[in-house]
Amino acid sequence: MRARTTATAAPTPSAAGLAAWQKLGATQAPPASLEQVSLGSIQVVDQASGVSATDARAWAEAFLRTFGYVDWAVRNDQEAFLVQSGLGTTAPVLEPNVAQAEQARLAGARVVIQQETMRRLVIRTVPQRLQPTFQNVGFTWTQYAIFIDAVGPITTTWVDGQGRQTVKSQIPAGAAAFELVGGQLGRKDPMGDVWVMSADWDCTSTNARQALAPLCDP
């Protein structure tokens, strides 16, 4: 999952005590603002049979909450939280985020990410015939997934202790940053309702598009 970053000043710690977050592997309490999410201009599109518009919106909001906690963890050296929080059901789902946080920490740097622009969150049904495709890469098949219609720019930068910046990856403005995130709604206190991720596909990959067609289509 691509983490997101927004500039905030002196964030208020979560109302939950530190002990509650330590049970999830965190060494500090995340800002309380992560518990509140807003879709803003993001359009929620329900393309899944049997899912109400109300549920689709709740899933989209839960996904944004998951996204926010992943971003916080990457930026604050919280690899153990990523592993123990329950935001992902299998290791490969959050493995790139864990590796990014760990590598930056070992280099004495912090991660700063310019976020993509999300245009739509599309709820889609995942055919069960694709279950082997998911399992082959260590993911877990679930009945539903959220397609993220997003575009760049996205820039991942490491900032060392002297303020020196190193750009580690970059997606140009207007370039596709599509993802397909399988999972389901789950209650994970003290975070609240989150999208528990069971798969995270890069839909800009030709292989993923071919294997999952038409789920990766915008």
pLDDT (0 to 100) of residue 10:
45
Kindly indicate the confidence band of residue 5, based on its pLDDT and cuts at 50, 70 and 90: very low
pLDDT value of residue 8: 40
Average pLDDT of the residues in 163-168 = 94
Q: What residue ranges do the domains of the chain occupy?
A: 39-212
If 0-12 CB within 10 Å is exposed, 13-18 middle and 19+ buried, where does residue 64 land?
Answer: buried
Interval 108-136: pLDDT, tens: 999 998 889 999 999 999 999 999 999 99
Strand-pair partners of 46: 123
What is the Cα–Cα distance from 55 to 28, expressed in whole angstroms? 32
- pTM of this structure: 0.91
C-alpha 101, offset from chain centre: 14
pLDDT at 113: 87
Q: Phi first, then psi: what are they for 64, rounded to 5°?
A: -65, -35
pLDDT band at 64 (very low <50, low <70, confident <90, very high): very high
Q: Tell me which amino acid residue 202 is.
A: D
3-class DSSP state of 123: strand
CA distance 173 to 176: 9
Instruction: Say if CB 191 and CB 85 are below 8 A apart.
Output: yes
The fold adopted by the segment(s) 39-212 is Nuclear Transport Factor 2; Chain: A, (3.10.450)
pLDDT digits (tens, 9 = 90+) for 183-208: 999 999 999 999 999 999 999 999 99
Give the helix/strand (H/E) hosting 208.
helix 206-212
At 1 the pLDDT is 64
Does the pLDDT of residue 28 top 70, yes or no? yes
